[in-house]
Amino acid sequence: MKNTPMEEINLIEKNAIDIVIHEENCSGCQICQLFCSFTFHKVFAPNRAYIQIDTHEIIPRISFLEGCTQCHQCVKHCLYGALELRENDE
């Protein structure tokens, strides 16, 4: 059975999974941002996403804002290998 988003979050906290960022792989497609704002606010608005992609630089800069629930949908929707889940050993 599939986990609910809240169960996913609990699971993540329990397993202490980190999001590892590989900015050099980011294409600037903003799919992660758009999916985030759509999931949480039902609108496609990059500025309302909890993940921010700054395409101003040659290599896009990726950051997470306060309020991010670690639902990891951004990771699941990244097709370019810029976001990766990795277990935190600590």
Partner 1 sequence: MEWYGYTGNILNVNLTKNHISVQEQNIKDLKRFIGGMGMNCKFAADLLKPKTDPISPKNIIIIGAGPLVGTITPGSSRTVGLSKFPASGAIANSCGSMSFGFHLKQAGFDQIILSGQADQPSYLQVWDDNVELCDASALWGQDIVETTDLFRGKYNACGVIAIGPAGENLVKSSLALIDKTATFGRGGLGAVMGSKNLKAIVAKGTKGIQIADPKQFNNLYNKLFKRIRTYPHRKDWHKLGMLRNMPIEAILGAKGEKTKAKQVTEKIYLRKLKKYRLACPSCPIGDKDMVEVIEGPFSGLINYTSSIINIFSLFLLLDLETYNEATKAFDVLQRLGLDSVTIPSFVDFCTGLYERGILTKEATGIEWKRDYQTLIRVAELIVERKGFGNILADGWQKLAETFDDIEKEMLIVKGLEQVFDPRIIRLGTMEFEQVVNPKGAHVASGGSPTYLAPGRPLDEFTPHFHRMGISESAFQRLYTPIQKEMGVNVGRLTRYAEDWYTVLTSLGLCARAQINRFWSLESATAFYNAVTGLDLYPADLRIAAERTWNLLKILNAREGFSRRDDRFPPSWFKSLHYGEIELKIQDFYGGITLTPDLANQLLDDYYVERGWDPETGLPSINKLEELGLEKYI
Binding site for partner 1 (CB under 8 A): 24-25, 27-31, 34-35, 37-38, 41-48, 54-56, 58-59, 77, 79-80
CB 75, min distance to partner 1, A: 13
Q: What phi and psi, each to the nearest 5 degrees, are found at residue 25?
A: -95, -5
| Run of H or E residues at 42 | none
Tell me the closest approach of the beta carbon of residue 69 to partner 1, in angstroms.
18
Q: How far apart are the first and last CA of the chain?
A: 29
CB of residue 6 to partner 1, shortest distance in Å? 18
